Structure 1
Amino acid sequence: MFPVVPRGSEEDREDQVRERVLQSALNFVPQHGWSRNALIAGAEIEGLPSVAHGMFPRGGIELVLYFYASSNQKLADMLAAETRLSQDGRMQKKSTELFIRDALETRLRMLIPYLSKWPQAMGLMSLPWNAPEALENLKTVVNDIWFYAGDTSVDLNWYSKRVSVAGVYKSSELFMLQDSSDDFRETWSFMQRRINNVMKLGDLAGQMQPGSIDGVGTFMSGAIEIVSYILSLVPPSF
């Protein structure tokens, strides 16, 4: 009598194999970039034939998206643990500004092992057919940061906070690519200046009164500039 195989078990096993290959393939990104060759090397490390890269019909972008999503999850786990410690009184609660700064730096540091090949990843994510998933991953980063920072806003502030922090992340990411300072010291200084601008923008949004056309116009021009930057990879001029 044949054993009963639970429904979905085959799909689960395939997902596990895919994840093993992707995780192993990350070790070859510095050598092969975000490419099929990295996927082939990852499959071979896992004892699979080189044709196993066929499990990734979209090629290198699947490796980029895996890295992005798994890094986001790693950050979320770290922020959740920090939040629990601060709520239990075992860690001093940080100010919102410091919490955001530390979270952004933590996430950006995850790029360091792959920094020389990161422009290729950014290029792949900017392609029209990949951009929706790339923007969704970016949205996850900023949503998680604000959630664990304790944000409870439900008005225009909700959008302004997330768009602004997304702009800080992407501009700092670009700056980091050409930063040769020790331990990326200049990147963190650049990022702090952008965060200072975010706090000013947040104050403006919070001070706006219903019907204040001038306030809305000023706020929206700043927000639109950041959104345009995210979509076009052109740094905002602030």
Structure 2
Amino acid sequence: MTEQTATEQPAADTGSIDALLDAALIHVAFDGWTEATFAAAVEDCGMDPVLARALCPRGAVDLALAYHRRGDAQMLERLKTADLTGLRFRDKIAAAVRFRLEASDDKEAVRRGVTLFSLPVYAADGAKAIWGTVDAIWTALGDTSEDINWYSKRATLSGVYSSTVLFWLGDDSPGHQATWDFLDRRIDNVMQFEKLKADVQKNPLLKPLLAGPSWLADQIRRPSTPTDLPGRRTGR
């Protein structure tokens, strides 16, 4: 298994993908992330259909994923410039999720994306996109986990992020304040669970029962990046 973040781009011309995506967003509100949208975007930006298909073999599905990656990249840029000094770590996480949602300036495009990736055939793509987002957040905030916590942190935040997105899509409160309150409550729930988990692990009466599962968990390591790929320097 190799480590991958949501900001990774295909080897194709990303500038052309951006042009195609910009053209597609005009049509997404009416036609969704569909073949009709993809065809209209190709025509609107005057791109060679063969090149467009090479950039996005699955058409609008790949454009929807490109839109998601664009939001991740904008979130990371904002995190680089934001002053998070003095914030508790849970507040840094909340800020990162908020930055990610605020990077999605087209709510209807997100809504249509949720619909697309709820289809069984594309559900794995949607899950991978969300995992990439939360991995980008944890990495940007300096997560150094090497064990099972690497997975549990991302799995937990995936649930928080997904539920917050769904709440945000239906939120019409001023400045989306209801969404940020909802996000804070979800993170509080996670912190309460983590506290309960820590208390259970410290309980001397339960330690014998947890010995086996704890040993198994200790064997799980975060995914590593191969060092023997072509073009990668493996030593000096």
Specify the alignment match of 2:70 in structure 1: 70
Q: Deviations over 1:134-181 (max 9, x none)?
A: 222211211121222232233443333221111111111111222221
Superposed counterparts of 1:52-201, under 5 Å: 54-55=53-54, 56-82=56-82, 92-113=85-106, 115-201=107-193
Specify the alignment match of 2:3 in structure 1: none
TM-score for both structures, normalised by structure 1: 0.69
Gaps of 5+ in 2: 1-9, 214-236
What is the aligned length? Answer: 198
Which residue identity is paired with 1:23? D
1:129 counterpart SS class: helix
Distance in 2 (alpha carbons) for counterparts of 1:94 and 1:128: 39
Superposition RMSD on alpha carbons, in Å?
3.1
Q: Deviations over 1:45-74 (max 9, x none)?
A: 323367876454423212211111121122
Superposed counterparts of 1:24-35, under 5 Å: 24-35=23-34
Superposed counterparts of 1:12-27, under 5 Å: 16-27=15-26
Q: Percent identity?
A: 30
Specify the alignment match of 1:224 in structure 2: none
TM-score for both structures, normalised by structure 2: 0.69
Structure possessing the higher relative contact order (Cα contacts under 8 Å, 6 or more residues apart): 2
Query: Could you say if the C-alpha distance between residues 49 and 160 of structure 1 is closer, same or farther in structure 2, counting changes exceeding 3 Å?
Result: closer
Is 1:40–1:53's contact at 8 Å kept on the other side of the alignment?
no
Query: Could you say if the C-alpha distance between residues 151 and 13 of structure 1 is closer, same or farther in structure 2, counting changes exceeding 3 Å?
Result: closer
Is 2:33–2:113's contact at 8 Å kept on the other side of the alignment?
yes
Q: Deviations over 1:17-76 (max 9, x none)?
A: 344212332233234322233323332332336787645442321221111112112222
